Amino acid sequence: MKHNNKVTGEIGEQLACDFLLNKGYQILERNYQQQKTEVDIIAKHQNCLVIVEVKTRSSNFVNPENAVSKAKQKTLVEAAVLYQEKHAIKSEIRFDIIAIIKTKQETEILHFEDAFYPYTTY
């Protein structure tokens, strides 16, 4: 049975949440909406607010981590700052990408911590 992109994305986000929980992260939000931007996962790890973009692919033909454009990075930074202000969170913000490559044979999860920095997005 072939999954559409939305279902594949939902499966990937659940795998990413489970992966982060196993690494000691606290999941604060999933699919957080801020204006026109959706943040896949907002988590807390140690004293850091972690904004996570999840990219799921059903083949390893394209590197999913390369699918986060500069424009998407910019909107994630803006959403993160607004979230931080709204919830009066004083901690540092980190931007991660979790790439999930799900084939019939296996599932590979790659976690890119500090995948991009706010000052490189403008």
* Residuewise pLDDT in 10s, the chain (122 residues): 444 677 777 888 999 999 999 999 999 999 999 888 899 999 999 999 999 999 988 775 567 667 788 889 999 999 999 999 999 998 999 999 999 988 788 888 999 999 988 764 44
pLDDT reported for residue 62: 63
The DSSP bridge partners found for residue 101 are 57, 108
For residue 91, the Cα-to-chain-centroid distance in whole angstroms is: 18
Does the domain at residues 5-120 carry the CATH identifier 3.20.20.140?
A: no
Q: What's the CA gap between 3 and 1, in Å, rounded? A: 6
Per domain, the residue ranges of the chain are 5-120
Is the pTM above the cut of 0.85? yes
| Euclidean distance between CA atoms 34 and 40, whole angstroms | 11
